[in-house]
Amino acid sequence: MPRLLIRDLAQVASPAGRAAPLRGSALADLDWIDDAYILCDGARIEAVGRMRELGPLDDDIEELHARGLSAVPGLVDCHTHPAFGGDRVDEFSLRAAGASYEELHAAGGGILSTVEATRAAGEVGLARAVSRHRDWMLRAGTTTFEGKSGYGLDRKTELASLEAIAAAGGIPTWLGAHAVPPEHATADAYLDFALADVLPEVATVAEAADVFLERGAFDVDQARRYLQACAAAGLALRLHGDQFTESGAIPLAIELGARSVDHLEATGSEGIAALAASDVVGVLLPASALFLGRPMPPARALVDAGASIAIATDFNPGSAFCESLPLVCSLAATQLKLSPAEALAACTVNAAHVLGRAGTLGRIAPGYRADVVLLDALDWRYLAYHLGGNVVARVVKDGVSD
């Protein structure tokens, strides 16, 4: 594979140092170089520096002229739900007219309507849907994505969802406890089935397990039973928690040593303090809060208290039909009161940490994977500043430019 020189960049910005996750004031520490180059050797970054310090190079180097563009690390989306059939545009219209997400869910719409469409999609339909969604993410600068199952909730469709995510290059998470499907009378009966009949096979494909701990979904005891069984099968743990109500997700995540607890729109001061004193990452999903008209999560308070945070899209058909991390960075700056530098670290190196890949992903530095987003801007902060704009000019993934 030839080496690739990305030259004449207006700026390169990357989270500083080598540590992960970045927390507290370190979240804003950035390495920032003007008039710069990035040299990739195959799928790895070999060197980064100033153009004027670039020495002589061999003839067989491919050059990418990036005058007028800035570079940030390939973005890492650590929370998406890309494996679904159908859409929820009718429900979106009903919500626009005043119906609430929880009411629609309780009436058998919401997640369960997507379960029906996902079961009907079949293996081929699901694989097509995931690769389509992956392409949307890539165009928006996401070079690594985590993808959750959770719209099949039977053995065949959960497995097909996870395999479709892996085949599309994503990092699969089994969201086996997302909702109780109609063929099971209770949440406990469903979990009996899921843990006995689904977990053994999905554990061979998924890297992590996730649960929706919420009123109307799964309670703390059910979430503990599910997550403990998943941990015993070798999966890392994630939780959807405090989205609508504070239901004990943060203490449970800490008790079980989970990688993250995600959402946190309803988290209060005790939860903030507990998370800040722990190693669990708070994954904030401002596009979901915006899409549902919910309060934003307490991002500033979490960072100021010393917690580790990441930001992600939560891409899904019901609560966040949004694949754009640049838009999430804009929301982070305008709604969560994070600086552009904090937002960048939250969707690169900290998101990579949530996915167990902090040593190789999320920085533009020697040895890291050659995933780079070229922004159509002289200043990298346009990533957050250009609200909803076409800020991504080109994407380099594994040392290959699009």
Residue 319 binds which one of ligand NIG, Fe ion, none, with CB within 5 to 8 A depending on kind? ligand NIG
Q: How many CA atoms lie within 13 A of 131 on its CB side?
A: 9
Residues 242 and 261: beta-carbon distance below 8 Å: yes
Q: Is 207 in the site for Fe ion (CB under 5 A)?
A: no
Q: How far is the CB of 348 from ligand NIG (least distance, A)?
A: 21
To Fe ion, the closest distance from the beta carbon of 262 in angstroms equals 6
Under the binding rule (CB under 6 A), the answer on residue 114 touching ligand NIG is yes
Shortest Cβ 136–ligand NIG spacing (Å): 17
**224 within 8 A of 211, measured Cβ to Cβ:** no
Out of 146, 242, 314, 342, the only residue in the binding site for Fe ion (CB under 5 A) is 314
Residue 375: CA count within 13 A, CB half-sphere? 25
Two structure tokens written together for 178: 């997302």
Tell me which residue of 228, 227, 197, 194 sits closest to 213, measured CA to CA. Answer: 227
Q: Does 260 bind ligand NIG (CB under 6 A)?
A: no
335 binds ligand NIG (CB under 6 A): no
What's the gap between Cα 94 and its chain centre?
A: 27
Stretch that binds ligand NIG, among 69-77, 108-116, 333-341, 385-393 (CB under 6 A): 108-116
Residue closer to ligand NIG (CB basis): 111 or 372: 111
Q: What is the DSSP letter of 23?
A: B
Residues listed for the chain: 402
Decide if residue 314 touches ligand NIG (CB under 6 A): yes
Partner from Fe ion, ligand NIG, none contacting 243, C-beta within 5 to 8 A by type? ligand NIG
In the list Fe ion, ligand NIG, none, the entry touching 226 (Cβ below 5 to 8 angstroms by class) is none
Dist CA 376 CA 386 (whole Å): 10
Cα→Cα distances 84→150, 210, 251, 281, 317, Å: 9, 17, 31, 26, 8
CB of 154 to Fe ion, least distance (A): 20
Our finding on whether 111 is near ligand NIG (CB under 6 A) is yes
Strand partners of residue 15: 30
Residue 317 binds to ligand NIG (criterion: CB under 6 A): yes
Q: Which residues are registered as beta bridge partners of 309?
A: 282
Compose the 201-230 pattern: x for residues touching ligand NIG by CB under 6 A, - for all others: -----------x------------------
Q: Is 287 in the site for ligand NIG (CB under 6 A)?
A: no
Nearer to ligand NIG, 134 or 240 (CB): 240
Regarding beta strands 372-375 and 70-73, do their DSSP bridges make them parallel or antiparallel, or are they unpaired?
antiparallel
Q: Give the chain's largest Cα–Cα span.
A: 70
The per-type count for the chain, helices as H runs and strands as E runs, is: 15, 16
Chain contacts with ligand NIG (rule: CB under 6 A): 81, 110-111, 114, 212, 240, 243, 288, 314, 316-319
Chain contacts with Fe ion (rule: CB under 5 A): 314
